[in-house]
Structure 1
Amino acid sequence: MLSRNIFHRFLLLIIIGIVSPRLSYTQTQDFLTTKSFTTEKQTGDCEDSKSHNCAHIKLEYFIVKIPSNKQAQKMINSSMKNEMLVSVVGKEKPKNVDGLIKDYFDEYKKFKSELPDSWQQWEVERTADVVYQDNNILSSKIFEYSYLGGAHPNSYLNFYNFNLQTGELIKLSDLFIEGFEDELNKIAEQIFRDENGISKDEDLNKAGYRFEENKFKVNNNFSLNDEGIAFFYNSYEIAPYVMGPTKLFISYSAIKNLICRDGILNSFPMN
């Protein structure tokens, strides 16, 4: 692969902290395992570092196996498949991975036919992983790095949390008491300001951040673990590209009065 593509993969590993399908199994708990797949393909003359005709794509994804709860297994796998198959080039969602790759290559070939002298190599790497699994919760992420022309590459990181008893996606309203929003935003904003050196009275817009109506608000892109909840804002979501993505971690102890006592977090320590 081109030296630039090697650099891109190295950069991807830094950001995440992390040509036939490759399969592997990972044991997570006695009742749940994951099976991983990797598909990697390219078109054009990608082996030549001076080539102006190359498109490369790599997909890494997983399925869960829960023998004792086939319904939850089906719902989790269906949800993750639905997210993994989002079109790379803005087309209608394909039925499978082969369709996703075909649409991507077709778009690149169309681009090259219209601008044959354009020196441009396209790169896409989309990875799905399990980041936490315990206490009837499965937290997973999908990370994508892409360069489809333009001034710079782009990336995003989205999280998906599942109730292992039901297979349903976990929403913030499943975790907290009714009317939690204002207090959660207040606590989160204080942590956000402290971590980013923004004083209590400083205008968020003037500090370089863009929130609707200039009011801090948590988003719905979060992960869960034994210690707390982490919110993740992708590049451009609340700040310019140059400022990068923003991560905000809140310990359960800081929001213990908001946690629903008969909810899925009731077994976590709140100290």
Structure 2
Amino acid sequence: MHYRKTLLTICLACFIFSCNEDLKTTFSDTKITTLNNKLVEVNIPKAIGNNLVANQINAEISKLIMTVLQIGEQDSIASKTVEESISLFNDEYNAFNIDFPNVLHTWEAQIDGEVMSQSPEIISIAITSYVNTGGAHGNTNISFLNFDAGTGKRIQNSDLIKNKDAFRTIAESYFKDAIKEDDVLFEPDTFQLPANIGFNEEGVILLYNTYEIAPYSTGIIDFTIPIEKVSDYLAFNGSE
């Protein structure tokens, strides 16, 4: 009888462990394109695992990509899938090329994603996009998407931090160090946290995209705060 109970306990433990493994979200590198696509390259991580979690993560990533590829008003996105957005981007270029046949510059869009950090509490993903529709230069933009690892729901910046004043004070000191060698006019009273806050292997990364706080020539400004410096002020544990 004791042997049977022990065996049952072991089997139950193995079953629970197996279920937990099945529920863990993993990612696979995915390339998205269409049959006649010549202008757009999309390489992103696709969430796999618990359908509820994975579907929400993948939906948010797709939404961002469709926004990046949108030509015109961002509030009137007609496409329902990334593939539709790729096709529409190509269609817009073809129409432009008919109207302006002497313009030799070809449009292009490159979108790449990577999982920056994944812990039992939070998943941080970076999406880097470069889009050029014939201007003087293309536009590079990096977006951080943070997700609750247990639900797959996107976490807004306001919900990442539980003590914003304390976090902001520490972030400002790291920001000053980051811009020492750049020609950035900085007024201490106007310091604001960036639109992009995420986690990487080293800690909390803060990133200001081009034009967010400085001219185009300055480029992207980013810096990382070691996790131990701000862990008391965060609502989530971003470490492994």
Q: Which amino acid aligns with 1:264?
A: F
Q: Which residue matches 1:164?
A: 149
Residue by residue, what CA displacement relative to the aligned partner does 1:218-239 show, whole Å, maximum 9, x if unpaired? 1231221354210111111111
2:165 alignment partner, SS class = helix
User: Partner residue of 2:184?
Assistant: 208
Structure ranking higher in strand proportion: 1
Aligned residue among 213, 216, 222 for 1:241: 216
Structure 1 counterpart of 2:191, one-letter code: F
Listed as ranges, the gaps of 5+ residues in structure 2 are 1-20
Instruction: Say if 1:151 and 1:228 are closer, same or farther in 2 by CA, change over 3 A.
Output: same
Paired residue for 1:9? none
Are residue 88 (structure 1) and residue 70 (structure 2) matched? yes
Q: Could you say which structure has the greater relative contact order, defined with CA pairs below 8 angstroms and 6 or more residues apart?
A: 2
Letter in 2 for 1:258: Y
Task: State the alpha-carbon separation in 1 of the partners of residues 230 and 193 from structure 2.
Answer: 14
Amino acid at match of 1:241: Y
- What do residues 159-211 of structure 1 show as CA deviations (whole Å, max 9, x unaligned)? 1111111212223443433xx2233222211111123228xxxxx9xx53478
Aligned equivalent of 2:39: 56
Pairing of 1:96-245 with structure 2 (within 5 A): 96-177=81-162, 180-197=163-180, 207-209=183-185, 215-245=190-220
Structure 2 counterpart of 1:255, one-letter code: V
Taking the aligned partners of 1:79 and 1:166, their CA distance within structure 2 comes to 13
Aligned to 1:79: 60
Aligned-residue RMSD, C-alpha = 2.9
For residues 40 and 168 of structure 1, the distance between their equivalents in structure 2, rounded to whole angstroms, comes to 26
Give the conservation status (yes or no) of the 8 Å contact 2:202–2:224.
no
* Equivalent residues, number: 215
Aligned amino acid, residue 162 of structure 1: F
1:51-77 CA distances to partner (integer Å, 9 max, x unpaired)? xxxx6111122321223xx32222212
Could you give the per-residue CA deviations for residues 12-33 of structure 1, whole angstroms, max 9, x where no partner exists? xxxxxxxxxxxxxxxxx77232
Q: Structure 2 CA distance, aligned partners of 1:43 and 1:268?
A: 42
Specify the SS of the correspondent of 1:121: coil
Choose 1 or 2 for highest CA Rg: 2
Deviations 1:219-262 (A, max 9, x none): 23122135421011111111111111000211222224423xxx
The change in CA–CA distance for 1:141 and 1:190 in structure 2 (over 3 A counts) is same
User: Helix, strand or coil for the counterpart of 1:120?
Assistant: coil
Maintained 8 Å contact 1:41/1:58? no
CA distance in 1, matches of 2:186, 2:140: 19
Aligned equivalent of 1:26:
none
**8 A Cα contact 1:43 1:56, kept in partner:** no
CA separation of 1:241 and 1:252: change in aligned 2, threshold 3 A: same
- TM-score, normalised to structure 2, is 0.77
The percent identity for this pair of structures is: 26
> Structure 1 regions of 5+ residues with no counterpart?
1-28, 45-54, 199-203
Whole-Å separation in 2 of the counterparts to 1:268 and 1:117: 53
How does 1:23-34 map onto structure 2 within 5 Å?
A: 31-34=24-27
Cα pair distance change 1:142/1:268, threshold 3 Å: closer
Do the aligned partners of residues 103 and 72 (structure 1) sit closer, same or farther apart at CA in structure 2, a change above 3 Å counting? same
